Amino acid sequence: MTKSTHELSPIELGERLKIARESANVTQDAGAKAAGVARTTLVAIEKGQRAARVDEIQALCHHYGISVNSLLRREAVHIDLIPRFRSLPDAASTGIQQAARTLNDLVRSEVELEDVLGVQRLRNYPAEKTILPGDVRAQAENDAQNLRNWLGLGEGPIQDLFALMELQLGIRVYGRKLASAVSGLFAYDDAVGGCILINSSHRRDRQAQTAAHELGHFIGTRRQPEVYQDEIHDNSREERYANAFGRAFLTPARATMEKFKELTTGATHLTRRHVILLAHFFGVSRQAMVLRLEELELTQKGTWDWFADNGGITDEQVRQVLGISERESSTDDARSSRLFLLAIDAWKKDLISEGQMAEMLKLGRHQVRELLDEAAAEEDEADDFFKLHH
């Protein structure tokens, strides 16, 4: 990602200008107009066939919303994930484009912090699977169980899927507020690896389902970028694989059947209480739990539709059974544990300012201040006994 020379070649500069333009969702015509040159001239600049003048670089950077310094400095990291999403359905959507830019920016920030701090992201990737002809759901079920075995998870519920993907597998995982229709995004790049962005405005159980779905894409279709909108029903084999993988990974068949038998012993009917307890145990939504029971033939097809047509399973009923409601257990907090740690370390070493930290993390200044105050409080209360020796 970086080179040892001190000046960018025309080819390097042109490539960075192209990435900046596409990241800002600006056409070549609009970029050329902003720089006061012909479109063919901008094309030549982006290809490195014509050197850009200082005034042209300044005009382009201003139009793309970036600083000249960030474009030109040698240690800057330029990652190009966004165009990969443009071949997908609804890629023109403002919300999807903004989410893709956010993912691109967060990955770039994390890689830049790694370079500055001299640390490396360790990957522990399982081999990519190929979706074969035949029953795609059965393949996903098998692949999900194999991954669980490979990770040593057994059959129990997964307490924190985000931590597992980020810290155990080495996938770059982020949670930020996105447009409500966008549940998550997945992209893969040989240089930076697997990258997942989850909508943190959604309930935690829904975030877990999105993360498991994107993990399915990481396992089965690693080199195909994907935008997940769980209200949109895509009948492609890739989507059916990812959906089935997510269900099987979060609610493994044997464990689900055993817990179902345990909770319904002596009962004559499946009740809302059964569903609430099962969903809470596995950390999935009530709808996802019922649909999984239907899939495993533990209840009749159409059971969830019956619940939906008869008042649903409400937050108040959850509160009565568990003592909490899904609203109380929901979150809109940003999540990026490793990226947060890197940014705090860089700030403490005066490598970045608080403002730069806010920009890199895509957070407000007050959120960054809270993050830094929390980190300082944790260090203040730490005993010297726990001091790390490097």
- Cβ burial of 330 (10 Å; 0-12, 13-18, 19+) is middle
| Angle at CA of residue 177, ends 174 and 180, nearest 5° | 120
72: which residues sit within 8 A by CB, 6+ positions away?
8, 13, 57
CA distances from residue 15 to 26, 100, 194 in whole angstroms, order as listed = 15, 19, 22
Q: What percent of the chain lies above the pLDDT cut of 90?
A: 40
Structure confidence by residue, pLDDT tens digits, 45-92: 999 999 898 889 989 988 888 777 667 765 555 566 765 565 445 544
Say if residue 159's pLDDT is above 60: yes
In angstroms, rounded to a whole number, what is the distance separating the alpha carbons of residues 53 and 389?
49
In angstroms, rounded to a whole number, what is the distance separating the alpha carbons of residues 211 and 160?
11
Q: What is the CA radius of gyration of the chain?
A: 24
pLDDT score at 5? 34
299: which residues sit within 8 A by CB, 6+ positions away?
270, 290, 293
| Angle at CA of residue 365, ends 376 and 338, nearest 5° | 55
First-to-last CA distance in the chain? 27
Q: Yes or no: say if 250 and 158 are a contact pair by the CB < 8 Å rule.
A: yes
In angstroms, rounded to a whole number, what is the distance separating the alpha carbons of residues 205 and 188?
24
| Angle at CA of residue 305, ends 264 and 213, nearest 5° | 85
Structure confidence by residue, pLDDT tens digits, 90-141: 544 778 888 888 898 898 889 888 887 888 888 999 988 888 899 999 999 9
- Identify the helix (H) or strand (E) that includes residue 195: strand 193-199
Q: Which sign, positive or negative, has the C-alpha torsion 21, 24, 30, 34?
A: negative
Amino acid, res. 368: V
Going by pLDDT thresholds of 50, 70 and 90, the confidence category of residue 3 is: very low
Say whether 184 sits in a helix, a strand or coil: strand
pLDDT score at 85? 61
Give the mean model confidence (pLDDT) for residues 198-219. 92
Going by pLDDT thresholds of 50, 70 and 90, the confidence category of residue 151 is: very high
Structure confidence by residue, pLDDT tens digits, 262-297: 999 988 889 999 999 999 999 999 999 999 999 999
Of 154, 140, 168, 345, nearest to 245 by C-alpha is 140
Q: Yes or no: say if 197 and 99 are a contact pair by the CB < 8 Å rule.
A: yes
Chain-wide mean pLDDT for the chain? 84
- Cβ burial of 165 (10 Å; 0-12, 13-18, 19+) is buried
Structure confidence by residue, pLDDT tens digits, 370-386: 888 887 776 665 555 44
Single pTM value for the model: 0.76
In angstroms, rounded to a whole number, what is the distance separating the alpha carbons of residues 87 and 225?
9
Going by pLDDT thresholds of 50, 70 and 90, the confidence category of residue 334 is: low
Give the mean model confidence (pLDDT) for residues 303-331. 81
SS (H, E, C) 250-302: HCCHHHHHHHHHHHHCCCCCCCHHHHHHHHHHHCCCHHHHHHHHHHCCCCCCC
